[in-house]
Amino acid sequence: MMRLRSSIDRWGLVARILHWGMFLLFGVTVFIGFYMVDLPRGFAKYQVYSRHKSLGITLLVLAVMRWLWRLIDTAPGRPVMPRWQSIMSSAMVAALYVVMLVIPLSGWLYNSAAGFPLQWFGYIHWPALLDANPSIKVIARQVHEAAVYIFMGLLLVHIAAACKHHWVDRDDIMRRMLPFR
């Protein structure tokens, strides 16, 4: 039977769906983000920006759900590993959890400071964080981009670590998060 909650040796269904769902959505959103900024001004650019923002807001909501679920759920235990590895692992996870919030939050802040309205996929009105503000706009823009690069760096380490566990240490760290067994 599929388990929603995690157990000692396996991530539950909710955790796995959030993990892989966000992985895919993040990929799409980052791709659109880099692609859209160089588009010539016009309707197409406007539409692509709107999609990017809606996807980003979706990721923000998912990130908040993931935070909450992580607090409710009990994560599987760690195999025995050196102390430095255990500290690094906790730091990595903490950093990922922070940056996955910072990216969409800074995007939302940027959009608000730029004085732009936002509707989630054209259906739900999404409020602005503050009034148009040129100086906050510049900062939020830089944070948004920097956070994406930091996140991609963290992700690289994260994936490398998963692969090392799977193929070098031959433990089940990777397998227990895989979507299917």
Partner 1 sequence: MGQWLRRVLIVWLSVVVWMLPAHAVAPLYRVMKSQSALSFIGLQQGDKFTGVFKDFDATIHYAATDLPGSSLDVVIHLPSLDTRSLERDQALISAEWFDVGRFPDARFRTVAIRQTTSGPVGDADLTIKGRTKRIAFPFVWKPTAGGATLDARVNLNRLDFGLGAGEWADAGIIGHSVEVVVHLVLTAVPPVAVPAAQPTRR
x/- site string to ligand HEM, residues 63 to 92, per CB under 6 A?
------------------------------
According to DSSP H, which parts of the chain are helical?
13-36, 43-72, 83-113, 134-163
Question: 145, 168 in Cβ contact below 8 A?
Answer: no
Pick from 86, 97, 18, 93: nearest CA to 58? 18
Binding partner selected for residue 37 from ligand HEM, partner 1, none, CB under the kind-specific 5 to 8 Å limit: ligand HEM
**Under rule CB under 6 A, residue 111 binds ligand HEM:** yes
**How many residues of this chain interact with ligand HEM, rule: CB under 6 A?**
24
Whichever of 113 and 143 has its CB closer to partner 1, that residue is 113
Write down the least CB distance from residue 127 to ligand HEM, Å.
11
Specify the 3-state DSSP secondary structure of 120: strand
**Under rule CB under 6 A, residue 59 binds ligand HEM:** yes
**Euclidean distance between CA atoms 68 and 14, whole angstroms:** 11
Both structure tokens of 70: 């992580």
**Under rule CB under 8 A, residue 135 binds partner 1:** no
By CB under 8 A, name the one of 80, 83, 125, 180 that touches partner 1: 125
**Euclidean distance between CA atoms 21 and 62, whole angstroms:** 9
Question: 124, 144 in Cβ contact below 8 A?
Answer: no
By CB under 8 A, name the one of 8, 38, 43, 83 that touches partner 1: 43
Cα dist from 113 to 49, 85, 106, 125, 136, whole Å:
16, 41, 10, 17, 6
**Euclidean distance between CA atoms 83 and 101, whole angstroms:** 28
By CB under 6 A, name the one of 145, 169, 171, 172 that touches ligand HEM: 145
The count of C-alpha atoms lying within 13 angstroms of the C-alpha of 50, restricted to the half-sphere facing its C-beta, is 16
By CB under 6 A, name the one of 50, 102, 110, 165 that touches ligand HEM: 110
> What is the contact surface with ligand HEM in residues (CB under 6 A)?
26, 29-30, 33-34, 37, 49, 52-53, 56-57, 59-60, 103-104, 107-108, 110-111, 118, 141, 144-145, 148
Binding site for partner 1 (CB under 8 A): 41-44, 46, 50, 114-119, 122, 125, 132, 134
